[in-house]
Amino acid sequence: MATINDNYLKLKAGYLFPEIGRRVKAFAEANPEAPIIRLGIGDVTEPLPAACREAMVKAVEDMGSRDTFKGYGPEQGYEWLREKIAEHDFKSRGCDVDASEIFISDGSKCDCGNILDIFGNNNTIAVTDPVYPVYVDTNVMAGHTGDANENGEYGGLVYLPITAGNNFTAEIPTDKKVDLIYLCFPNNPTGATATKEHLQGWVNYAKANGSIIFFDAAYEAYITDPSLPHSIYEIEGARDCAIEFRSFSKNAGFTGTRCALTVVPKTLTGKAADGSDVEIWKLWNRRQSTKFNGVSYIVQRGAEAVYSEAGKAQIQALVNFYMENAAIIREKLTAAGIEVFGGENAPYVWVKTPHGLSSWDFFQKLLETCNVVGTPGSGFGAAGEGYFRISAFNSRENVEEAMRRIVEKFKV
């Protein structure tokens, strides 16, 4: 008799976004004329930049000639793309990151889960609350947790509440030691950012305790404050204690074409069962070489174009467009007396639910009375109860219309 991975049975009823999709689908089927505006999941809406499209078309043409055809590529990614990333994303900001330490992948979401393959089952793992659900659910699947309690918190995880009281930045533990630490800045879902001083505190903690930070920088392109770090490697000592995940999805619109990257410094080590030091880079390279065949040549050529002069200008225009949407959301909701956070260095606005509504109650009322979809804060963790995430990823027309409807129905 074939048996299953029982850890999957610990998972809550459904991953947050499919559950939202289920509710929206049911409402749409019952109300086929409803003009639904979706500001829930963080999927972009604007076309791929022209520079990326042109590079992809050229790459498709390359596949039509024996002389330029590409079959299996290097699992780590083509060197010409990794060199561009190292130069433009890291060395330009004073980060000591070599192209050989960059791994091209099909998504930072995938890498955030797959990285657990190379870490043991006896690590103490810290996540923020609220949190991007992938960090939690993949640890549940890997058997790193116990069962969930009535608040949806899993035994075996250390939850670090991020609230308005601490500016939505995780406080460093003082009463316990954690081994693996998930940090996401600019933060999903709250839109909060972390200063260099704050991240230096985490790096110092990690080095002192032999911990490793998983730093998700998927939204770094949306940082507008020049004093804020874009990479964990801008922090002294981070090469010895941090892995960074990045994506082309949110800056260049690659949600449908799939391209991302993970940085694993060659100076980073972990402990084997016998107490010896093991290079994390070698383990991740071995994992990727075994389980992953790389991102397509066509998509990597499109990603390379991100770093051309035309590509950089077009991507900045995209980022500016979405941040203008975020500013509209903040302005309209604030004027209506609704308390908001984020949306200044991130494409997400974190909303305090009006009239004392719970997160899911507000979701349902917003869907039914305004035909607008957002994301209930409690879906990101117990500390997200009473909050709601609104995404700036949509057309200007839809964002303005959604704000008009919300203000009309929920003005405080």
Q: Is 258 annotated as a binding residue?
A: yes
Q: Is 188 annotated as a binding residue?
A: yes
Task: Give backbone dihedrals phi and psi of 370, rounded to 5 degrees, phi first.
Answer: -115, -10
Q: Is 248 annotated as a binding residue?
A: yes
What is the SS3 assignment for 32? coil
Q: Is 72 annotated as a binding residue?
A: yes
Q: Is 205 annotated as a binding residue?
A: no
Q: Each residue of 32-51: b (16+ CB within 10 Å) or e? A: eeeeebbbbbbebbeebbeb
C-beta of residue 242 within 8 angstroms of C-beta of residue 203: yes
Q: Is 100 annotated as a binding residue?
A: no
Q: Is 247 annotated as a binding residue?
A: yes
Give the DSSP H/E element, type plus range, for residue 324: helix 309-335
C-beta of residue 340 within 8 angstroms of C-beta of residue 360: no
Q: Is 15 annotated as a binding residue?
A: yes
For 56-79, give the DSSP string.
HHHHHHHTTSTTT---S--TT--H
Q: Is 256 annotated as a binding residue?
A: no
Name the token pair of 213. 């930070």
Name 29's Cβ contacts closer than 8 Å, sequence gap at least 6. none
Q: Is 105 annotated as a binding residue?
A: no
C-beta of residue 403 within 8 angstroms of C-beta of residue 409: no
Binding site, by residue number, is 15, 42, 72, 108-109, 132, 188, 219, 247-249, 258, 293, 389
Annotated binding site for pyridoxal 5'-phosphate: 72, 108-109, 132, 188, 219, 247-249, 258, 293
Q: Binding site for substrate, residues? A: 15, 42, 109, 132, 188, 293, 389
